[in-house]
Amino acid sequence: MADRTDRQPAFVLHRRAFRETSLLLELITRDHGRVTVVARGARRARGNSASLYQPLQPMLVSWSGRGELKTLSAGERAGINPEITGRRLYSAMYLNEILVRLLPHHDPHPRLFDAYACVLPRLAVAEDVEPDLRGFELLLLRELGYGLELGCLGSDGRVLEPAARYLFEPREGLVEAVSAEDRRAYPGWVLKAMERGDFSEPETRRCAKRLLRGIISDLLGDKPLMSREYFRSGS
């Protein structure tokens, strides 16, 4: 008998047509991580399944199957999030895309799932989405095992000095900058604020975006993010 999972909290990260009448869905689930499922017959004109399986809305889903590709057996809404529109929608698309690209299949990250569920309603109404995006990126990297320590030196664990400046080396972590004029360097007080998850200062948000997006870009490799291209073009 095929393995079966029932009524699992989930969000659709991405969907595309599959064969003549079905949908292929990339899901983030609370207890099973990223799962790919086939929603058979979901595109039939007489049904409403296609409109049900929309990104950014909380769901409960059931599936079965032993292989990596599962078969969806049931799905229902588990609430309604506020609609995300305009440029905020690009931010939500960005989160979905990096989750699809970076999360391995069937690797549970309940803390990350809960953070995602909380950040979507905030993106719909926030005047500035940057603090939420930076906080989520930082959590994602830590959940992936990147071990991003921003409060101390990577070599000996010494606590950062607020007035000093530091460089981030992928294999070493934070190192002291040789020159205070090095534009790549980050102020110690900014890194300590990032470690606390405090993105209230503009300088912290600016530095966090440069640091975290640089790390994520390295993890993604050469293939660009489509959500960034949409944002740049205003499509």
Domain final position from 77, 106, 141: 77
> pLDDT digits over 20-48, tens only?
889 999 999 999 999 999 999 888 755 56
**CB of 212 within 8 A of CB of 156?**
no
Looking at the fold, whether 113 and 178 belong to one and the same domain comes out as: yes
Looking at the fold, whether 116 and 222 belong to one and the same domain comes out as: yes
Q: Which pTM does this prediction carry?
A: 0.91
What's the pLDDT at 72? 96
How many domains does one find in the chain? 2
Looking at the fold, whether 122 and 47 belong to one and the same domain comes out as: no
Looking at the fold, whether 187 and 120 belong to one and the same domain comes out as: yes
**CB of 72 within 8 A of CB of 37?**
yes
Looking at the fold, whether 121 and 179 belong to one and the same domain comes out as: yes
Residue 48: both structure tokens together: 């409403």
Beta-carbon contacts of 71 under 8 Å, excluding residues fewer than 6 positions away, are 37, 38, 40, 63, 64, 65
Q: Which helix (H) or strand (E) covers residue 15, if one does? A: strand 4-18
**CB of 73 within 8 A of CB of 204?**
no
Q: How far is CA 185 from CA 133, 190, 195, in A?
A: 22, 11, 16
**CB of 58 within 8 A of CB of 99?**
no
What's the pLDDT at 42? 87
The CATH number of whichever domain residue 11 belongs to comes to 2.40.50.140
- Dihedrals phi, psi of 74, to nearest 5 degrees: -165, 150
Ranges in the chain, pLDDT < 70? 1-2, 45-50, 228-235
**CB of 143 within 8 A of CB of 112?**
yes
Looking at the fold, whether 112 and 57 belong to one and the same domain comes out as: no
Looking at the fold, whether 36 and 142 belong to one and the same domain comes out as: no
Looking at the fold, whether 117 and 206 belong to one and the same domain comes out as: yes
Looking at the fold, whether 33 and 133 belong to one and the same domain comes out as: no
Cα dihedral value 64, 70, 73, 78, nearest 10: 110
Task: Give the domain range for residue 103.
Answer: 86-233
Token pair 């070493």: residue: 172
Domain final position from 77, 101, 134: 77
Domain final position from 77, 104, 120: 77
Looking at the fold, whether 63 and 104 belong to one and the same domain comes out as: no
Looking at the fold, whether 122 and 210 belong to one and the same domain comes out as: yes
